[in-house]
């Protein structure tokens, strides 16, 4: 895969930090975006504390989106639309990887999908056909991405264009995971809903960092 610039919007959290570490290790250039330059600088400083060898540039979200060949949205559900509105001009013609999960406190263990059917569909409706929205990584234990460990979880990749899904699956594999075509953006609802189910499983304490694995018979 060609080395590209990947802009991670909201890269201040565990998921954005973990993806930055893994994709930088794979040779990509990383840009961390935030609402203000100060927060972006702080996010890069926090990233360096976790992974001193990981290089990243700090920018405000609109500049980060414009700079990225591929843009990744890792903000909380309540900030999804406002963040996308602020960067939509920089997203035209690009793939947006949206990892948003519609968790609504305090009942994060209860499935609460938005009226559009999923956060991914909501993003695609807002941005229109100029942007290829692909959803992924909703079911990953985010802080494990920051560690040099094998993560026992597969990634469902949903989006309306097969070529865009294929590109994201390549990035999933470069992050050390397995990705699977999950169909059109409407099917993102399944992965988003599973997050609340996995939270419930983790709460019981019988298992930690629960995830999903795709099993079946291959063509041999």
Give the residues across from 59 on adjacent strands.
Answer: 33
pLDDT (0 to 100) of residue 4? 94
| Beta-sheet strands, E only, within the chain | 5-9, 29-34, 57-60, 70-73, 95-98, 132-135, 155-159, 179-181
The domain covering 5-204 belongs, at the CATH homologous superfamily level, to: NAD(P)-binding Rossmann-like Domain (3.40.50.720)
Question: How, if at all, do strands 132-135 and 5-9 pair?
Answer: unpaired
pLDDT (tens digit, 0 to 9) for every residue of the chain, 220 residues total? 679 999 999 867 889 999 999 999 999 999 999 999 999 999 999 999 999 999 999 999 999 999 999 999 999 999 999 999 999 999 999 999 999 999 999 999 999 999 999 999 999 999 999 999 999 999 998 888 888 888 989 999 999 999 999 999 999 999 999 999 999 999 999 999 999 999 999 998 788 889 999 999 876 5
180: region left, alpha or beta (phi > 0 left; psi from -120 to 50 alpha): beta
pLDDT (0 to 100) of residue 89? 96
Contact present, 120 and 188 (Cβ < 8 Å): yes
């Amino acid at each position: 895969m060609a080395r590209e610039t990947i802009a991670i919007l909201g890269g201040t959290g565990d998921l954005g930090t973990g993806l930055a570490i893994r994709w930088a290790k794979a040779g990509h250039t990383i840009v961390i975006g935030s609402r203000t330059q100060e927060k972006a600088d702080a996010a890069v400083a926090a990233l360096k504390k976790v992974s001193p060898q990981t290089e990243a540039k700090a920018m405000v979200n609109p500049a980060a989106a414009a700079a990225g060949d591929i843009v990744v949205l890792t903000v909380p559900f309540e900030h999804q639309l406002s963040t996308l509105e602020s960067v939509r001009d920089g997203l035209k013609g690009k793939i947006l990887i949206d990892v948003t999960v519609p968790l609504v406190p305090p009942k994060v263990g209860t499935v609460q999908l938005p009226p559009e059917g999923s956060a991914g569909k909501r993003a695609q409706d807002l941005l229109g056909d100029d942007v290829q929205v692909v959803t992924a990584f909703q079911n990953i234990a985010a802080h494990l991405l920051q560690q040099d460990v094998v993560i026992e979880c597969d990634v469902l990749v949903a989006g309306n264009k097969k070529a865009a899904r294929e590109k994201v699956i390549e990035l999933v594999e470069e992050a050390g995971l397995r990705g699977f075509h999950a169909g059109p953006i409407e099917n993102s609802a399944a992965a988003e809903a599973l997050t609340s189910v996995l939270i419930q499983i983790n709460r019981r304490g019988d298992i930690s960092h629960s995830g999903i694995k795709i099993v079946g018979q291959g063509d041999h």
